[in-house]
A and B are shown apart, each in its own frame.
Chain A
Amino acid sequence: MSTPRTGRAPGATAVLHVAPTVVEWLERIDGVAHLGRAVPAGTSPAEIVAAVVLARREAGGRTKRVVLALADALAPDRILQLPSDLSRKDLRSILERKAVALLHERISADAEEPTALFHAWAGGQVCERDGDHTSWHLVAMDEEFLTKLSLALRDRNFRVERVAALQLAPLALASASTGNTGEPVLYVVTHDERMDVGLIVEDHVLTRRSMEGNPATNTTVATGLFHEVRGIAGFWRKQSRGDQIRQVVLIGLPTDRAQLIASAIGGVLPDAKVSLLPDPEAESADAEELRGRATILSAARTLGPLSPNLAFRLPPRRVSVGLAALLCGLLAFVLGTRVEHHLIAALGDLQGDNLAMTTQATELRTVHTRLEVVESDAAELRQVLERTARVGTFAPPLRPLLTESLAALPENAVFDSIRLFDSGDRDYRLEVQGSVHGSAGSVLRGMRSLRDYLGRSSHLSEVDVTLSDRLPEDRNASQAFLVTAHCRETSP
């Protein structure tokens, strides 16, 4: 049940008034108000709904969309003064406790503490008293009872569009009829055997009083009413420091007596404009005896600050949940089956591929193992080859050194000794000692030729030829020479 908080209910909506002792169904059919009444056999929701069916039948109702108007006994309200500086959490807690207390006091004094649904509102400058208190208007409802009642109505296919407290609905109507100007409005709502009198200022009930009886039929009650009106006017003068009440709205009086009572109240409040709802002078197709009651019940269709929508949330229908579950289950089953089918088919293909690849991989692993062996053999070959090659590098080449050195000697030279030795860190050094004879020119030529020849050798480097410093006295005498060179390591 979720509806707007203000405005009027759609035209095709009936008003269902539920009280512990009576159920009323008001529906406008072709512009004419039809009212049906039934007395419930008991106070249980099922018995009340049975009475609703009867009342609707009596009214000749066609729609099943209703505004549920709860009687004062089912949705009691109270005006509370609470400190203005309360936190929202504390305020909610206090109001909830007050609502429970209100229900306990008004509905089920003997029963266990009920669970309360509540709605409270505050507003208007007059609500602030000395700045430290706020006036709150609280409406409370028994959650368990209303839930059961709403579920029972829903089970009979009644659709509750709104919920209103019937004692507050005419107040909204009174305020609306004066143009919602915020000026003080004195209202008188006449029910069959009860009368509510009060003062509304800026959409807030400032004071109110309920009296038993009907002023239209009981002069004592009418006298009491005038007395009460006078009291409220005095209260307002005092409250507003001399201001007068200028608006009076009388709701629900029978048309034949309404003018009389209006004139009497006009006498009590000479400055006030007295309005009547329904207007006796307005044309209406409604039956004369129904007009007052129809106006009060129809007021439940009007939402406003004084008559909020008290609709609350109900659990979803079991059928809806069941259908949703069935639909989802079916969808899940179909989807799951299809996906599973595809998955299993794909899995079969994949497992086939995997089997083939496993076989292939096994064969390839054998090949790989063979390759590893062969590569290991090849690595060993490389190592052996390298080692064999290194064996030959531990000494300089003998034959080329000796043959080259000896072949390079010029004809006029003889060698006396040859030394080949490791001068450190495998750096081989060659030394050839000998003597040369002849003229100085031929000696020099011969030694230069020797140096050049050995210098071209691929096995020698840093070739140096030195002659002894002492020159021979005889030109044919021999002169000592020394050839030194470094040897490169190569294969033997």
Chain B
Amino acid sequence: MKSVGNLRRRRLNRATALLTPVLVASLCTVGVIAPPAITFQGARASHALLSSEVRALAHSVSRLAEIEEEGGADRILAATERLRRLIPKETPELELHGVVRAAAQLAGVRLQALFLGDHQDVGLPRIEGDYVGRRVVRISAECTPDSFVRFVENLRSVGLPVSVTDLSLARSGSAGATFLVETSLSLFEHTTPPRTESEDIEL
């Protein structure tokens, strides 16, 4: 049998009416609890963040302790300074002339010509604005191979780190004991870095 009516749908459902205060009460409870709960959540987040930071930083303590055991920061600084001093500051040309001549004289090398070139960039790293360049020293002289070696060692002994990058020894006579020497020495010094193109443009 078909039937149609509105007896069952007009009124507010009793369950709905009774559930409304439950819902309102629940919302009130949530409203009361929410502020401290939000603060608590914030505090938990801060706690997690601080815990993580403390754990990460605790590693720093042990690492620093290891370094202190190995001699500490002062030793590092001292070693750095000593290493820096192995490469001299730029020697004035006049003084360099004197030093080279003295080293040659002491080694028994008779200098015939001495040419001091400009500083060249050989790609050594700049550290804290500290630049090391190479100055090429060209020498013509007459000496024995031993005296040439002594000459180079004399230069090193006065604190000039030189390298022989080009050398030619030729016997000066058919039976002579001396040789004509043509050589290029590389002298490494702390100096002012060459200007870059961008710096030139700025100027």
Binding site for B on A (CB under 8 A): 88, 91-92, 95-96, 116-123, 136, 143, 203, 305, 308, 310-316, 320-321, 324-325, 328-329, 331-332, 335-336, 339-340, 343-344, 346-347, 350-351, 353-354, 357-358, 360-361, 364-365, 367-368, 370-371, 373-374, 377-378, 380-381, 383-388, 390-392, 394-396, 398-399, 402-403, 406, 415-422, 492
Contact sample, A vs B, 22 pairs, CB 8 Å cutoff:
A117-B10, A122-B2, A310-B7, A316-B14, A324-B22, A325-B21, A325-B25, A332-B29, A339-B29, A343-B36, A351-B43, A354-B46, A360-B54, A371-B67, A377-B77, A384-B84, A384-B127, A388-B86, A390-B124, A395-B164, A402-B149, A492-B163
User: Contacts of A118 on B, CB cut-off 8 Å?
Assistant: 5-7
Q: Which of A347, A378, A492 contacts B39 (CB 8 A)?
A: A347
Please indicate the chain A residues that have their CB under 8 angstroms from the CB of B168 in the complex.
Answer: 417-421
Interface pair A331/B32, CB less than 8 Å apart: no
Q: How far is the CB of B195 from chain A (nearest CB, A)?
A: 21
Asked whether, in the complex, the Cβ of B28 is within 8 Å of the Cβ of A368, the reply is: no
Residues of A within 8 A of B84 (CB): 384
Judged by a CB distance under 8 angstroms, whether B122 is at the interface is yes
Looking at the assembled complex, report how far the CB atom of B48 sits from the nearest CB atom of chain A, in whole angstroms. 10
Contact (Cβ within 8 A) A394 B12:
no
Which residues of chain A are within 8 angstroms of B21 by Cβ–Cβ distance?
321, 324-325, 328-329
How far does the alpha carbon of A378 sit from the alpha carbon of B76 in the complex, in Å?
Answer: 6
Judged by a CB distance under 8 angstroms, whether B203 is at the interface is no
Which of B55-63, B94-102, B107-115 forms contacts with chain A? B55-63
Indicate the member of A91, A391, A406 with the most B CB atoms within 10 Å. A391
Instruction: Kindly identify which residue among A315, A358, A365, A384 contacts B17, using a CB–CB cutoff of 8 Å.
Output: A315
Interface residues on B, range: 35 or more
CB nearest to A370 among chain B residues: B64
List B residues 11-56 near A (Cβ within 8 Å).
Answer: 11-14, 17-18, 20-22, 24-26, 28-29, 32-33, 36-37, 39-40, 43-44, 46-47, 50-51, 53-54
Residue of B nearest to A365 (CB): B57
Chain A residue nearest in CB terms to B1: A123
Contacts of A92 in B (CB 8 A): 4, 6
A313/B2 contact (C-beta < 8 A), A347-B36, A374-B64, A383-B125 known: no
Task: Report the nearest A residue to B3, measured CB to CB.
Answer: A121
Known contacts A123-B2, A391-B161, A418-B168: A374-B29 contact under CB 8 Å: no
A417 to B166 CA separation, bound complex (whole angstroms): 14
Q: Is the CB of A88 within 8 A of B58?
A: no
- Decide if the interface of chain A is mainly helix, strand, loop or mixed: helix
Question: Quick check: is B132 within 8 A (CB to CB) of the other chain?
Answer: yes
Smallest Cβ-Cβ distance to A95: which chain B residue: B4
- List the B side residues contacting A308 at CB < 8 Å: 3
Q: Please, how many angstroms separate the alpha-carbon atoms of A339 and B26 in the complex?
A: 13
Cβ–Cβ < 8 Å partners of A305 in chain B: 1
B29 cross-chain contacts in A, Cβ below 8 A: 332, 335-336, 339
Besides A313-B8, A387-B125, A394-B186, 17 more A-B contacts (Cβ < 8 Å) are A92-B6, A116-B6, A117-B6, A123-B2, A332-B29, A367-B57, A371-B64, A373-B73, A374-B73, A378-B76, A384-B84, A385-B83, A388-B87, A394-B134, A395-B163, A398-B152, A492-B164
User: Which residue from chain A places its CB closest to the CB of B43 in the assembled complex?
Assistant: A350
